[in-house]
Structure 1
Amino acid sequence: MTLDYETLRLIWWALLGALLIGFAVMDGFDLGVGMLLPFVARTDLERRVAINTVGPVWEGNQVWLILGAGAIFAAWPPLYAVAFSGFYLAMFLVLCALILRPVGFKFRSKLASPRWRAVWDGALFVGGLVPALIFGVAVGNAFVGAPFRFDADLRLTYEGTLLGLLNPFALLCGLVSVAMLTLHGGTYLALKADGPVAARAARIARKAGLALGLLFTIAGFYVAFGVAGHAVLHGAGGNAPSNPLAKQVATQTGAWLANYVLHPWTLAAPALAYAATALAALLVVRGRPGLAFVASGTAVAGVVATAGLSLFPFLLPSSLDPNAGLTVFDASSSRTTLLIMLVATLIFLPLILAYTAWVYRVLRGRVTETWVEAQGKAVY
């Protein structure tokens, strides 16, 4: 059976969502552990316990970020052009923060000096907080619309600034992201750490779950009553060549909720986010960290899916010229490119999933203070 252009575009929209969810779930608890490091560990040994829960896996988890960025580059070139040029300074801050993580992991144990280790522990905290915040801010700006336009020859003009990205709704989404990954990191530490670190992480995870539920609700009301949503009135069909200007777009407050009215099944995403968040917060304090971690990962998936389903068919709306907003159907690569990429993805993605599952099976079990002391300098 031959897949038509519209179907391939929808498949790649779903795959992009899956890759972003994979990144948020897999690398999300790494970022969460970094944010929690100053609050769950009071001694150097306790900090080493927390760090070594993610020590063997944090590098592999970043593969999902590369996969997501690569999918955007290959499947949605205009989206890549707008996001990675217009949001350049924000992305630069994220990269700087992410660079601090490997440096912090590798350098903190080189010297026994408390001041030396405190500096790199601070770097790990920043390396967790900044990406979590800015990724949420980026999603918030997707709802508000980015300040870009195209001319008649599809040449891009971006008129925004870094400070312009820090609007109230975007900052609210940043806080949602921070609370979400704090919950995820807390359940992971409750599962993988031992003693006081696990106990403190469980208590913080419960509070983060409550904060996530509250912030997610406030963001929902903001989307319904405070943000001008975009809706395609008419334009190129799903099988038409990519051209962001071949459509007409209207803006109206509450338009981002239209998909939930037209397709009630999409309500499953926010419902899943709420239910999984509540379940994770409940299970983690009742001594069921394994199930709590699964629930927090499900909550992350629900929150990310809610954003994607609310925006559909838009990938990145424009606040300067709504007609220039990028959608699933007018910003993709060619049909041949999408088809070749799909074949490659069907071959290699299962291999990545199988290898990841094997790694986590091999590394199962808790990281204890006794084990860390016994390993000496062989671990972080």
Structure 2
Amino acid sequence: MILHELISYEHLRLIWWVLLGVLLIGFAMTDGFDLGVGALLPFVARTDVERRVAINSIGPVWEGNQVWLILGGGAIFAAWPQLYAVSFSGFYLAMFAILMALILRPVGFKYRSKIDSARWRNGWDWALFIGGFVPSLIFGVAVGNVLQGVPFRLDDTMRIFYDGTFFGLLNPFALLCGVLSVCMLLTHGAAWLEVKTEGVVRDRARSIGSVTALLTLALFVLAGVWLYYGIDGYRFTSEIVRGGASNPHAKTVALAPLAWFANYQAAPWTLIAPVLGVLGALATFIAMRARGEVSALLCSNIAIFGVIATVGVSMFPFILPSSADPNVSLTVWDSSSSHLTLFIMLVATVIFLPLILAYTAFVYRVLWGKVDAKAIESGDGHAY
């Protein structure tokens, strides 16, 4: 038996669907609080020292956290090439906006203190705000559009034709998901600041985070109700071939009311995902009001896991439905790389992912502790 045949094609596809979810959730949990702190910066910190306290809370870790975004993009490129091709071409302007915003972050970190000028530093602080707010919003808008279906077509040679426009992405449901994403990551950033800072920065972060936690809960429930009553999902109308060649044309698909809720009826244990989203957001609010620093951050992580997992569970096995031609919607079973490619990637992941997790845990352990405003003023060991 050839080595890669030890794991069936069907199981490898399922494993990589789970791993993709793990990478996306890992990005939201780690780089998510970086984005949240950046978006909160003008509101939780009013003096230069206060802003430096907030920036130094994420300064040592933000670059490492972005590894999860790179891993997620790499996994999509290698494991789901058609998903990568369609999303990065169809969402080109949105991706460009995210890229430009993310570029503002390292530039802002490095340049804000180069000139001793209040105007100069204030300008770069707003650049850091853009670098946190814009990606948080656009990521959520993208998810909202995916749930509704993306207007793309594939011809017989698998060439991609995208029929949508940038402003077409800014529809009401997608904007709701975008605001949900912003509130969720603002809450996460506030929870991080509560752990890492003291005094007025911590108190302002707690006050804002309490509000955004409740907004996250309300918007998550509202999005679910909207999806239930107002948006049709996608379902197979032909036989599902789980281990066949990757060919999105080899099936038929139709829109159907409540299709995004079928998995919960077929497997009730999957309700764990939305329940964690709701309870995690509520628990984050309670923990913040009770001044529970670490518990608020843990509950925020649970909420993020629940919200993102809910999207994946609801859509499975679809990963990018097409509103222009539902029959070419991309699914777990017909848009992956080859059996051998998925196996080689899995072997590499089994070897290197634990190393990444161990190193990340070590870094957080070494860098744990609060940022001291007095040390910031004296320039003792703080880079930003």
Shorter-chain TM-score range = over 0.9
Equivalent of 2:284 in 270, 280, 302: 280
Q: 2:241 aligns with which of 237, 262, 268?
A: 237
Give the conservation status (yes or no) of the 8 Å contact 2:146–2:320. Answer: yes
Alignment partner of 1:158 out of 162, 166, 170: 162
Deviation (angstroms), 1:255: 1.1
CA distance in 2, matches of 1:191, 1:232: 47
AA partner of residue 353 (structure 1): L
User: Structure 1: which 5+ runs fail to align?
Assistant: none
Q: Which residue, out of 172, 177, 191, partners 1:187?
A: 191
Q: Name 1:21's counterpart in structure 2.
A: 25
Alpha-carbon shift at residue 253 of structure 1 (Å): 2.4
Residue 170 of structure 1 is matched in structure 2 by 174
Question: Which amino acid is 1:192 matched to?
Answer: K
Question: TM-score normalized by structure 2?
Answer: 0.97
Query: Size of the alignment, in residue pairs?
Result: 380
Selected match of 1:71 from 59, 68, 75: 75
CA distance in 2, matches of 1:265, 1:362: 38
In the TM superposition, what is the alpha-carbon distance from 1:159 to its structure 2 partner? 1.0
Q: Deviations over 1:232-251 (max 9, x none)?
A: 12245111000001111110
Contact 1:190–1:202 (CA<8 Å) still a contact in 2?
yes
Q: CA deviation at 1:374?
A: 2.3
- Is 1:270 the equivalent of 2:297? no
Residue pairs, 1:1-380, within 5 angstroms = 2-375=6-379, 378-380=382-384
TM-score, normalised to structure 1, is 0.98
Deviations 1:174-225 (A, max 9, x none): 0110010011000000110111000110111110110001100110011101
1:283 and 1:289 in contact (8 A); partners too: yes
User: Contact (CA 8 Å) 2:375, 2:381: kept in 1 or not?
Assistant: no
Aligned counterparts of 1:31 and 1:205: Cα–Cα separation in 2: 14
Q: Which whole-Å CA distance do the structure 2 matches of 1:142 and 1:352 have between them?
A: 30
SS in 2 for 1:247: coil
1:114-165 CA-to-partner distances (Å, cap 9, x unmatched) read: 0000100000000000000000011001111111011122221111111011
Deviates more, 1:239-248 or 1:1-10: 1-10
Letter of the 1:40 counterpart? V
Q: Deviations over 1:326-377 (max 9, x none)?
A: 0000000000000000000000000000000000000010002112112268
Structure 1 CA distance for aligned equivalents of residues 294 and 355 of structure 2: 25
- Rounded Cα–Cα distance in structure 2 between residues aligned with 1:378 and 1:364: 14
CA distance, structure 1, for counterparts of residue 87 and residue 240 of structure 2: 23
Cα distance, 1:322 vs. partner?
0.4
Unmatched tracts of structure 2, length 5 or more: none
Whole-angstrom distance in 2 between the partners of 1:172 and 1:54:
28
Residue 286 of structure 1, CA deviation: 1.2
Give the share of equivalent positions with the same residue, in percent.
Answer: 59
1:50/1:197 contact within 8 Å kept: yes
How many Å separate the matches in 2 of 1:350 and 1:264?
31
